[in-house]
Structure 1
Amino acid sequence: MMRFTFLLVVTLALGGCVDLDGFVHNPVHCSTVSDDTCNKDDVWDKVCLSCDEPYNFSDTYEFTDDWYARDIPEDSVVNEKLKTADGEGEIDLYWITSHGENSKLAQTTLLYHHGNYAGIEHYMPNVRYFYEAGYNVVVWDYRGYGKSMPETTPNASQWFADVELVYDFVRASALDKTKIAILGQSLGAIPSSHAALYQMPCALLMETPFTSLGTIGQDNSGLGLPDAFLSKGQYDNIEKMKRYDGPLFVMHGTKDYKISYEAAVQLYENATGPKDMWTIVGVGHIISRPNRENAVGTKRYLGRIQEFLEEKASSCLTE
């Protein structure tokens, strides 16, 4: 977010309306992995795998002592390479089949859209605990992230075309296409909201969601600027939620210093369908990280999501 703030200050100094939609990304492509990306103090910041090295879906982490995550069998993971509609790239996607022990979720597919840093390697713990909960998990990298191609990040039209490509693939491949839930984490709320409006999921789940460039710019600069000043509005999730009438679950901490709680409330209030908002007092950005100070804890996080599905989106579940 410091990067975004710097760009905002520069553009304000230059004056005039600008389009900052392209600056929401903060990827690490596998072709750029080096000692600099791997030797980080914070375990969450380490990005170490080159393009030729496979992801380890059974990695252990120093912060997993207080929660259980089983290994993901190799034969449960299928890697797909999806050619982009414009012919310029290839999406790196992974489908992880449910272990089947949670009968309510064994037929449910969770399409997971991760945040704006690095790629799948960075978010592997999230994949692990969604699998642990019992979902069939689909995770993919946006252009410029991880092992997806090209190495450059997408513009809005490219990104949304890729979102539709992935969602079409998921719907064609799911055990039950009526039981596809979409989870967007931080920046992942952008592709998630687009997918939900493209084809209604059984539920839309948003963790500390990206709201709009206008609200984020205001939160990080102290200046009240309309979205129209900063962007073309393609990433304005607050407005998009006015057109979404399916089940919505928003999870947000009151101490989120990147995306304000107040903006998340506005996003939530604009949705018109069955909905709930989990307000976590005193917790910051990305509420589910098990080793983050004041995070809610993985088991509580997963349990609260399933409670929402049972109460507001029962069509996602198998009775």
Structure 2
Amino acid sequence: MKILTLIQVMIASLIFFPARDYTQLPSAYRLAYEEVRCQAADGTQLYGWFMPAAESRATIYFLHGNAGNISDRLYKTEGWVKRGYSVFLLDYRSYGQSKGSITSENDIYQDAEAGLAWLRNEKKTALSDLIIYGESIGSAPALYLAVKRNFKALILESPFTSLADVAKIHYPFVPSFLLRQFQFNNLERLRQIHTPVIILHGIQDGICPYRMGETLFREAPQPKELVSVPEGRHNDLYELLGADFFDKPIRFMVQSAGSSS
């Protein structure tokens, strides 16, 4: 059992690169914020920031990628809040001020569920007013939540089809059976959702190749949209798209809401 646990920790260290220290606070962007503390089903204490927008149009639940922590996503948050969207940033366990460690994909799902429960219980946020944002590996918990519920929209930035597909590219030496605890099968989950989905993907993405975004888009139910960024890599879509980084998803959400009414 100890050997198995050690292997799981080693595999997790190849996937997740958490940072404890926050490089900045929302106040650096003149954003009002509320510190959030919630608890996962297994008792792990989690931490995040809720940033309300004046006369909020909807709430974005932002599930971040595998490196850094929530402070590294504030530059994206600012654009959403200025456009009238409240944003909730949650750190998974082992990131920032969240406690615990990650030993399986279920840990990430528990954390995502805890954040959603906080929004539902404390902010009384209706599912129809909630946008789930999955950045890179955050696309996995985003899709996990969307399989069970219908949200206003799902935004996936630089997503992947499954962790096994990504591992074949970056860690071909890792036997597939060692990834049992970290499958993150996004493609299978995407086929089960009933939420409008927009995918933003760089054609030059060397981490989660663009073809993965194309595959996810092809298998996604309508309404859906794929925003392809010709020069885009994995982490620079915000810089390359500029205002369209926010405005294209907003237009998609307006159109998809109109088509369903």
Q: TM-score range with shorter-chain normalisation?
A: 0.7 to 0.9
Paired residue total: 252
Moved more, 110-119 or 305-314: 305-314
Paired with 2:88 and 2:114, the residues of 1 have a C-alpha distance of 13
2:114 partner letter: L
Tell me by how many angstroms 1:157 deviates. Answer: 2.1
Match of 1:66 in 2: none
Question: Is 1:302 aligned to 2:223, yes or no?
Answer: no
Report the CA distance shift for 1:288/1:59 in structure 2 as closer, same or farther (over 3 A): farther
Counting only pairs closer than 5 Å after superposition, residues 126-205 of structure 1 correspond to structure 2 as 126-150=76-100, 152-172=101-121, 173-205=123-155
Task: Give unpaired runs (5+ residues) of structure 1.
Answer: 1-10, 12-18, 31-46, 49-54, 61-70, 101-105
Moved more, 208-217 or 198-207: 208-217
Question: Is 1:91 aligned to 2:46, yes or no?
Answer: yes
Equivalent position to 1:79, from 35, 46, 68: 35
Moved more, 129-138 or 226-235: 226-235
Paired with 1:224 and 1:246, the residues of 2 have a C-alpha distance of 37
2:54 partner letter: H
Paired with 1:169 and 1:241, the residues of 2 have a C-alpha distance of 24
Is the CA contact (8 Å cut-off) linking 2:40 and 2:113 kept in structure 1? no
Paired with 1:191 and 1:241, the residues of 2 have a C-alpha distance of 11
Counting only pairs closer than 5 Å after superposition, residues 57-72 of structure 1 correspond to structure 2 as 57-59=26-28, 71-72=30-31
Question: Is 1:288 aligned to 2:219, yes or no?
Answer: no
Q: Which has the larger radius of gyration?
A: 1
Tell me by how many angstroms 1:127 deviates. Answer: 1.8
1:110 partner letter: I
Query: Which SS does the other structure have where 2:138 is aligned?
Result: helix
Report the CA distance shift for 1:281/1:227 in structure 2 as closer, same or farther (over 3 A): farther
Match of 2:4 in 1: none
Paired with 2:94 and 2:174, the residues of 1 have a C-alpha distance of 29
Paired with 2:197 and 2:205, the residues of 1 have a C-alpha distance of 20
Report the TM-score, using the length of structure 2 for normalisation.
0.86
Paired with 1:266 and 1:175, the residues of 2 have a C-alpha distance of 32
1:72 partner letter: L
Report the CA distance shift for 1:26/1:313 in structure 2 as closer, same or farther (over 3 A): farther
Paired with 2:103 and 2:73, the residues of 1 have a C-alpha distance of 20
Counting only pairs closer than 5 Å after superposition, residues 1-319 of structure 1 correspond to structure 2 as 20=11, 23-30=14-21, 48=23, 56-59=25-28, 71-73=30-32, 77-87=33-43, 89-100=44-55, 106-150=56-100, 152-172=101-121, 173-220=123-170, 230-231=179-180, 234-290=183-239, 295-297=240-242, 299-314=243-258
Query: Which SS does the other structure have where 1:139 is aligned?
Result: strand
Identity %: 22
Between structures 1 and 2, the one with greater strand share? 2
Match of 1:36 in 2: none
Task: Give unpaired runs (5+ residues) of structure 2.
Answer: 1-6
Report the TM-score, using the length of structure 1 for normalisation.
0.71
Measured against aligned partners, the alpha-carbon deviations of 1:72-105 in whole angstroms (never above 9, x if no partner) come to 13xxx21121122212x211022111123xxxxx
Paired with 1:224 and 1:242, the residues of 2 have a C-alpha distance of 30
Paired with 1:22 and 1:215, the residues of 2 have a C-alpha distance of 18
Paired with 1:143 and 1:229, the residues of 2 have a C-alpha distance of 21
Measured against aligned partners, the alpha-carbon deviations of 1:60-82 in whole angstroms (never above 9, x if no partner) come to 6xxxxxxxxxx213xxx211211
Report the CA distance shift for 1:272/1:307 in structure 2 as closer, same or farther (over 3 A): same
Report the CA distance shift for 1:127/1:228 in structure 2 as closer, same or farther (over 3 A): same
Is the CA contact (8 Å cut-off) linking 1:79 and 1:93 kept in structure 2? yes
Measured against aligned partners, the alpha-carbon deviations of 1:15-43 in whole angstroms (never above 9, x if no partner) come to xxxx956742110123xxxxxxxxxxxxx
Paired with 2:132 and 2:189, the residues of 1 have a C-alpha distance of 16
1:284 partner letter: R
Is the CA contact (8 Å cut-off) linking 1:212 and 1:236 kept in structure 2? yes
Is the CA contact (8 Å cut-off) linking 1:108 and 1:176 kept in structure 2? no
